[in-house]
Chains A and B, each alone.
Chain A
Amino acid sequence: MRRNGLLSLIGILAVVSAAFIASLATGQRPLLGIDLTGGVEVVLEPVLTDERPDGPTEPELDQTVEILRNRVDALDVAQPDITRQGSLVVVQLPDVDDQQRAIEIVGTTAELQFRPVCSVLPVALDVDDAIDQGLIDPDALESDDGTDEEGLGFAGEGEYAAPAIPLQEDEPTPEPGADETPEPDAEAPVVDDETPGAVFSDAFVPPSACDADSLELVAEETTASEDIRRDEPVLLDQRDENGLVVQRYYLGPVPSAEIEGEDVFLVGTAVESADAFTNGLEWTVSLVMEPGDGGIGLFNDIAAECFASSAVCPSGQLAIVLDGTVESAPNINAPAFDRSNISISGAFSQSRAEDTALVLQYGSLPIELEQQRIRTVSASLGSDSLRAGIISGIIGLLLVAVYMTAYYRILGVAALLSLFVSGAMLWVLVSFFSETGFFFGGVTLTIAGVVGLIVSLGVSLDSNVIYFEHLKEDIANGRTLRSAVDRSFPVAYRTIFWADMAALIGAVVLYLLTISSVREFAFMLGLASVLDLVATYFFLRPLVKLISRTDIAVERPGLLGLPASVRRARA
Chain B
Amino acid sequence: MITDTAEVPAESPSRARRMYRNQLEIDFSVWWRRGAAVSLVMVTIFGAALIFRGLNLGIEFEGGAVWEVPADDVSAGDVRDGLAGLGLADASIQTGGGIVQVRAEVEVTDTEAAAAVAVALADVVGADPEDVSFSDVSASWGEEVTEKAVRALIVFLIVIAAYISMRLEWRMAVGGLVALAHDILVTVGVYALFQFEVTSATVIAFMTILGYSLYDTMVVFDRVRENESRPSLAGRVAYQDIMSLSLNQVFMRSLNTTVTSVLPVLMVLLVGSFGFGAVTLREFGIALLVGLLAGTYSSMFVAGPIVVMLKNREPEYAALIESAGTSGQAELATLAAGGATPRRQRGGTGPSAPKRPPSTVIPPRPRKQKRRN
B7 is an interface residue with CB less than 8 A from chain A: no
Contact size range, A? 35 or more
CB-CB under 8 A from B145, the residues of chain A are 515
**B211 close to A515 (CB less than 8 A):** no
Given the complex, which residues of B lie within 8 Å of A35, measured CB to CB? Answer: 280
Which chain A residues have a beta carbon within 8 Å of chain B's beta carbons? Answer: 35, 43, 45, 99-100, 103-104, 107, 370-381, 384-385, 387-389, 391-393, 395-397, 399-400, 403-404, 407, 447-448, 451-452, 454-455, 457-459, 461-462, 465-466, 469, 472-473, 476-479, 491, 494-495, 498-503, 505-507, 509-510, 513-518, 521-522, 525, 563, 567, 569
Complex Cα distance A392/B271, Å? Answer: 6
**In the complex, A392 Cα to B208 Cα: how many Å?**
18
Question: Which residues of A lie under 8 Å from residue B131 when comparing CB positions?
Answer: 378, 380-381
Contact A473 B249 (CB under 8 A): yes
Q: Which residue of A lies closest to B69 (CB)?
A: A378
Q: Which residues of B contact A (CB under 8 A)?
A: 21-23, 60, 68-70, 111-112, 114-115, 130-138, 140-141, 144-145, 148-149, 151-152, 155-156, 159-160, 163-164, 167, 200-201, 203-205, 207-208, 210-212, 214-215, 218-219, 222-223, 226, 249-250, 252-253, 256-257, 259-268, 270-272, 275-278, 280-281, 284, 288, 292, 338-343
The chain A residue sitting closest to B251, CB to CB, is: A469
Cβ distance B250 to chain A, nearest Cβ, rounded Å: 7
Q: Give the residue name and chain of the A residue nearest to B288 (CB).
A: A455
Report Cα–Cα, A66/B133, bound state, in Å.
Answer: 28
Residue of A nearest to B210 (CB): A506
Residue of B nearest to A415 (CB): B260
Min C-beta distance of B200 to chain A, whole Å: 5
Shortest CB–CB separation between residue A502 and chain B, in angstroms? Answer: 5
* Given A396-B267, A469-B22, A473-B22; A388-B275 close (CB under 8 Å): yes
> Whole-angstrom distance between the alpha carbons of A470 and B149 in the complex?
38
Cα distance, A107 to B134, chains bound together (Å): 16
Contact A499 B218 (CB under 8 A): yes
Q: Chain B interface secondary structure, helix, strand, loop or mixed? A: helix
- From A103, A377, A465, give the contact of B253 (CB < 8 A): A465
Contact B219 A499 (CB under 8 A): yes
- In the complex, which of the residues A43, A400, A452 contacts B263, with contact meaning CB atoms closer than 8 Å? A400
Residues of A within 8 A of B210 (CB): 506
Q: Within the complex, which residue of A391, A458, A514 is in contact with B257, where a contact is CB–CB below 8 Å? A: A458
Instruction: Write out the residue numbers on chain A whose beta carbons fall within 8 Å of the beta carbon of B270.
Output: 392
Q: Is the CB of A494 within 8 A of B200?
A: no
Rounded to whole angstroms, the CA-CA distance of A90 and B125 in the bound complex is 32
Write the nearest CB–CB distance from A318 to chain B, whole angstroms.
Answer: 35
The distance from the CB of B226 to the nearest CB of chain A, in whole angstroms, is 7
Q: Is the CB of B263 within 8 A of A502?
A: no
Asked, given contacts A372-B141, A376-B134, A502-B160, whether A458 binds B260 with beta carbons under 8 Å apart, the answer is yes
Asked if A380 meets B264 with Cβ closer than 8 Å, knowing A373-B137, A525-B208, the reply is no
Which listed residue, B114, B144, B284, touches A451 by the CB 8 Å rule? B284
Indicate the member of A103, A389, A392, A462 with the most B CB atoms within 10 Å: A392
Chain B residues with CB below 8 A from A459, complex form: 212, 215, 257, 261
Contact B260 A461 (CB under 8 A): yes
Residues from chain A with Cβ under 8 Å of B212 in the complex: 455, 459, 503
> Given contacts A465-B253, A518-B204, are A476 and B338 in contact (CB under 8 A)?
yes
Contacting pair A396 B264 (CB below 8 A): yes
Q: Once the chains bind, are A100 and B111 in contact (CB under 8 Å)?
A: yes
Tell me if A381 and B133 are in contact (CB < 8 A): yes
Kindly list chain B residues whose C-beta atoms are within 8 Å of the C-beta of A503.
211-212, 214-215
- In angstroms, Cα B262 to Cα A381, docked, is 26
Determine whether the beta carbon of B263 is less than 8 Å from that of A388.
no
Taken together as a complex, chains A and B put the C-alpha atoms of A192 and B211 apart, in Å, by: 56
The 4 closest A-B pairs by CB, nearest first: A458-B261, A396-B264, A388-B278, A513-B152
Q: In the complex the two chains form, is A373's CB within 8 Å of B265's CB?
A: no
Q: How far is the CA of A533 from the CA of B167 in the complex (A)?
A: 18
- Kindly identify which residue among B160, B226, B341 contacts A491, using a CB–CB cutoff of 8 Å: B226
Q: From residue A394, how far is it (CB to closest CB) to chain B in Å?
A: 9
Query: Could you jot down 19 A-B contacts, CB within 8 Å?
Result: A371-B136, A372-B144, A373-B138, A378-B69, A385-B281, A388-B272, A391-B271, A400-B263, A403-B263, A448-B204, A451-B201, A454-B268, A455-B288, A462-B219, A477-B338, A505-B163, A506-B160, A518-B149, A525-B211
Q: Given A455-B265, A518-B149, A502–B208 Cβ distance below 8 Å?
A: no
The answer on a CB contact under 8 Å between B278 and A389 is yes
Chain A residues, Cβ within 8 Å of B160: 502, 505-506
Query: How near does chain B come to A550, taking the closest CB pair, in angstroms?
Result: 23
Asked whether, in the complex, the Cβ of A387 is within 8 Å of the Cβ of B260, the reply is no
B138 touching A370, Cβ below 8 Å: yes
> B260 touching A476 by the CB < 8 A rule?
no
Q: Give the complex CA separation of A522 and B200 in angstroms.
A: 13
> Which residues of chain A are near B339, meaning CB under 8 Å?
476-478
Nearest-CB residue, chain A, relative to B167: A498
Q: Is the CB of A521 within 8 A of B207?
A: yes
Given A374-B135, A384-B278, A510-B156, check contact A396 B265 (CB 8 Å): yes
